[in-house]
Amino acid sequence: MTESSRAVRVRFCPSPTGNLHVGNVRTALFNWAFARHHGGTFVFRVEDTDAARDSEESYQGLLDALRWLGLDWDEGPEVGGDLGPYRQSERMPLYTEVAEKLVAAGYAYYAYDTPEELEQRREAARAEGRSSGYDGLHRDLTDEQRAAYEAEGRKPVVRFRMPDEAIVFTDLVRGEVTFEPEHVSDYVIMRANGQPLYTLTNPVDDATMGITHVLRGEDLLSSTPRQIPLHRALVELGIGEGVVPEYGHLPFVMGPGNRKLSKRDPGGGLADYRDRGFLPEGLLNYLALLGWSIGGDREIFSLQEMAEAFDIGRVNPNPAQFDPKKCEAVNAHHIRDLGVEELAARLVPYLVGAGLLGAEPSEDDLALLAAATPLVSERITVLSEAVDMLAFLFVSEDAFTVDPDDGAKTLTEDGLAVVRSARDALAALDSFDTASIEAALRAALVDGMGLKPRNAFGPVRVAVSGRRISPPLFESIELLGKDRTLGRLERALTA
């Protein structure tokens, strides 16, 4: 079947092993966009069969991550669906049943090789220049041979019997791909202890959930020639929805040193972006650019616009370089596109986390934040940057401090003379609005003292905000208010 002849069903199936990798986020995004573009179904399932690494905390973290990203799923945990359950840990009897059916039908077989025997034969193969994959020694054991091995106490693994022919398929991203049989040997689908491996669970889940298209990372390309024959066997046995998926392998995301980006690299894990204050729409917009283009030179778009335009055939198979600065720049565009009310609401958790707002901010604090938000919207690339910029407005006067380095550079003897003149000019004002504040300070410092604006306003900025970098000075002073402004100027003079 071709892409257009059947209802699209795709899936995102991470393991709950901690901080979600941004490469996995991109995979989820491309699957989501493909499903939405074709009016199909986006299935979210969890591969949680590794008891040593998986955790309930990480499982909940996965759900929270997808909710935060806005990648809504049509079937899966919390949503349900007719082809669940959607956690592999709840599907174990199915894998055992399928393995037994594969063996009974001759598509798989029991192999009793010990690890030592396997390694000896691999070493011999390598020494002779042959493939070191499984040599098929136990492919056709007799009942007597199996009984003899079991009498020794050996427990067999289950291996899938690969066809002795080339595996050829059309990759949705890379075009026709061929794997010769000598490079794809019989592989294990179930351990000797009865534990199913990814090589079995993943295709069985795809088959029984009717997955039509598998879009996944390039690192999994080598497993595809194993999975396609298994899918065909499942179809022959009537297991699942009778679909052999089409595959598309997404390019690597490269990090520092032109190597594959790791979850341990700075910026490799999703939690880093949430903590710093990336908008989900900004991060997803940038990740979409890693291997795909909406068209022309356009780089800024919404999730909905991506879904409308998404074409898997336009994904570039070449590795994509992750650029943190460009990621920030794209995010900054999305911040500036937010309305004042929405941006202020998104800043609240960061100000609460910094202790500048209470867990339930007062109406006065929220009103002050709404008034201050336009002052920083053009100056921040991530939401957390607003904390330092706005701290001077929300900190108590007892807790207000001047950055030592900034104070040493600006509140010199000459700087304090500027502060003194500013205090006197502002104290004389009857109307304390931005225009009046600017006029008074320019008259006193630029005209009166003959200073250039940079030298005139720098000491005032540090005295009232505590930093050399702050939102626009005159607007900031208005928001701070006359009493607090004069108090801070006086404090700088008497420190």
- Residue positions annotated with a catalytic role: 263
SS3 (DSSP) at 321: strand
Look at residues 303, 304, 318, 380 and name the one whose alpha carbon lies nearest to residue 347. 380
Q: How far apart are CA 149 and CA 146, in angstroms?
A: 5
Q: What is the amino acid identity at position 38? A: H
**Residues 443/463, Cβ–Cβ less than 8 Å:** no
Instruction: Look up residue 130 and give its two tokens.
Output: 């042959």
Provide DSSP, 384-426: THHHHHHHHHHS-TTT----HHHHHHHSSHHHHHHHHHHHHHH
Torsion on CA atoms 67, 71, 72, 77, rounded to nearest 10: -60
d(CA 456, CA 444): 9
What pairing do the DSSP bridges indicate for beta strands 175-179 and 108-111?
A: unpaired
Rounded Cα distance between 330 and 344, Å, is: 19
- Residues whose CB falls within 8 Å of the CB of residue 495, separated by 6 or more in sequence, listed in order: 402, 411
Torsion of CA 50, 265, 217, 71, to 10 degrees: 80
> How far apart, in whole angstroms, are the C-alpha atoms of residue 381 and residue 279?
10
Cα 44 to the center of its chain, rounded Å: 15
